[in-house]
Structure 1
C-alpha cells in the first residue's frame, strides 16, 4: 500500500545513524518485524526495517545507517531532511516482509542484529515486552565498535527491568572497560548456546551474515530451519 507520511523529525544518533519519525496520513497495519519501502522515484524504492512496533499509535520509526560512502541510504536521509524542512510529505509503501514475530509461539526468542539491523530487532522486542511475554528473550547485537551500538544503554536498562530479557552486546574492536563480548556476533551466540533447537530465531544484518547464521546454527546447534526468520532468506 502506498501512503504519504509527514516527516516529524530526523535525529542523528551515533556513527552516521539517523532516527526518523514518520506520521502516516492514515494508520498502517503492520506486524512487528516488517519493513517499508521509501519511494525515491517511479522505479526506485528502498527498504528499511520499521523500528517501532505496531503498539505505537500511528507513528513509524526508522533507523538508517547513512555513512558518506553509502549514498543508497544517505540519499534517503537527505530526502527526509528536505521534506522536514519544507513540510512536504514523503511517500512510502508498506507493509512488506515475512519475517515478522510469530505471536502465537511460546518458544524462547533469540534476536540477532548486525549494525542498524537492530531496527528490526527493536520492533520485535518492543512488541514482546508490550505484550508481556513470559518466555526468555535473548538479544545479541553486533557492531564494528561500541559507537555502532547506539542503543546500548537503553537495552542494558531494559534487561535490568525485565527478568526474562538478556542483552549481549558484541563488538569487533572494544574500548577500555568494555562490558560486553569481543569478536563476531554469530560466534558469540554459538559459544553461549549448547543447542538452539527450542528457539525461535530472528535475524537482521547483511545477507552474508543471515546466510552464515542459518548454516551454522542448523548444522552445529540443532536450530530448526523453519523457526529461523530473516527477510534476507527470501533473496539468498
Structure 2
C-alpha cells in the first residue's frame, strides 16, 4: 500500500546511524517485525525495518545506518531530511515482509541482530514487553564495535526491569572494561546454547549472516527451520 508520510524528525544517533520518525497520512496496519519501502523513484524502492511496534500508535520509526560509503542508505536519509525541511510528504509502501512476530506462540524467543538490524529486533521486543509476554526472551546484538550498539544502555535498562529478558551485546573490537562478549554474534549464540530446538528464532542483519545462522543452528543446535524467521529467507 502506498502511503504519504510527514517526516517529523531526522536525528543522528551514533556511528552514522539515524533515527527517523514518520507520520503517515493514513492508518497503517502492520505487524511487529515488518518493513517498509522508501520510494525513491518508480523503480527504486528501498527496504528498511520498522523499528516501532504497532502498540505505539501510528508513528513509524526507522533506524538507518548511513555511512558515506553506503549511498543506498545515505541517499534515503538525505531525501527524508530534504522533505522535512521543505515541508513536503515522503512516499513509502507498507507493510512488507513475512518475518513478523508470531504472537500466538508460547515458545521462548531468541532475537538476533547485526548492526542496524536491531531496528527489526526493537519492534519485536517492544511488542513482546508491552503485551506482557512472560516466556524467556534472549536478545543478541552484534556489531563491529561498541559504537554500533547505539541502544546498548536502553537494552541494559530493559533487562534490569524485566526478569524474562536477557541481553547479550557482542562486538568484534572491544573497549577497555567491556562487559559483553567479544567476537561473532552467531558464535556467541552457539557457545551459550546447547540446543535451540524449543526456540522461535528471529534474525535481522546481512543476508549472509541470516543464511549462516540457519545452516549453523539447524545442523548443530537442533533449531526448527520452520521456526526461524528472517526477511532474508524470502530471497536466499
TM-score between both structures, scaled by the size of structure 2? 1.00
Distance 2:82 2:140 in 1: 35
Question: Which residue number corresponds to residue 51 of structure 1?
Answer: 51
Q: CA deviation at 1:27?
A: 1.3
Question: Which residue number corresponds to residue 100 of structure 2?
Answer: 100
Distance 1:104 1:131 in 2: 12
Q: CA deviation at 1:80?
A: 0.7
Question: Which residue number corresponds to residue 7 of structure 1?
Answer: 7
Residues 103-118 of structure 1: pairs in structure 2 closer than 5 A: 103-118=103-118
Q: CA deviation at 1:62?
A: 0.1
Secondary structure, aligned partner of 1:55: helix
Secondary structure, aligned partner of 1:27: coil
Structure 2 residues without counterparts, runs of 5 or longer: none
Question: Which residue number corresponds to residue 140 of structure 2?
Answer: 140
Structure 1 residues without counterparts, runs of 5 or longer: none
Structure 1 position 123 matched with structure 2 position 151: no
RMSD of aligned Cα (Å): 0.3
Distance 2:196 2:3 in 1: 40
Secondary structure, aligned partner of 2:56: coil
Question: Which residue number corresponds to residue 29 of structure 2?
Answer: 29
* Paired residues, number: 236
TM-score between both structures, scaled by the size of structure 1? 1.00
Residues 186-201 of structure 1: pairs in structure 2 closer than 5 A: 186-201=186-201
Residues 52-105 of structure 1 show CA distances to partners (whole Å, capped at 9, x for unaligned) of 000111100000000000000000000010011011000000000000000000
Secondary structure, aligned partner of 1:76: helix
Distance 1:206 1:27 in 2: 30
